[in-house]
Amino acid sequence: MSASEDTVGARLLAWYDRHARTLPWRSPPGTPPPEPYRVWLSEVMLQQTTTAAVAPYFLRFVERWPTVEALAAAEDAEVMAAWAGLGYYSRARNLIAAARAVAERGGFPDTEAGLRELPGVGAYIAAAVAAIAFGRRAVVVDANVERVVARLFAIAEPVPQARKSIRERTDAITPDTRAGDFAQAMMDLGATVCTPRAPRCLVCPLSDACLARASGEPERYPVKPTKKAKPLRRGVALWIEREGNVWLVRREGRGMLGGMRALPDDGWSARADGSGAPAGEWRQAGMVRHGFTHFDLELRVLATTAAEEPLGPGEWWPIDRLDEAGLPTVFAKAAARALG
Q: Catalytic positions, please?
A: 43
* Residue 235 dihedral angles phi and psi, to the nearest 5°: -155, -175
- What does each C-alpha distance from 8 to 1, 81, 171, 301 come to in angstroms? 10, 43, 12, 55
Q: Cβ(11)–Cβ(179) under 8 Å?
A: no
Task: Characterize the bridge pairing of strands 232-242 and 296-305.
Answer: parallel
CA 75 to chain centre: 21
**Contacts of residue 98, Cβ cutoff 8 Å, sequence gap at least 6:** 40, 44, 118, 119, 120, 121
CA 198 to chain centre: 24
Q: Cβ(132)–Cβ(183) under 8 Å?
A: yes
**Contacts of residue 326, Cβ cutoff 8 Å, sequence gap at least 6:** 80, 81, 82, 83, 84, 260, 261
- In total, the chain counts a number of residues equal to 340
Q: Cβ(334)–Cβ(301) under 8 Å?
A: yes
Cα 78 from Cα 80, distance rounded (Å): 6
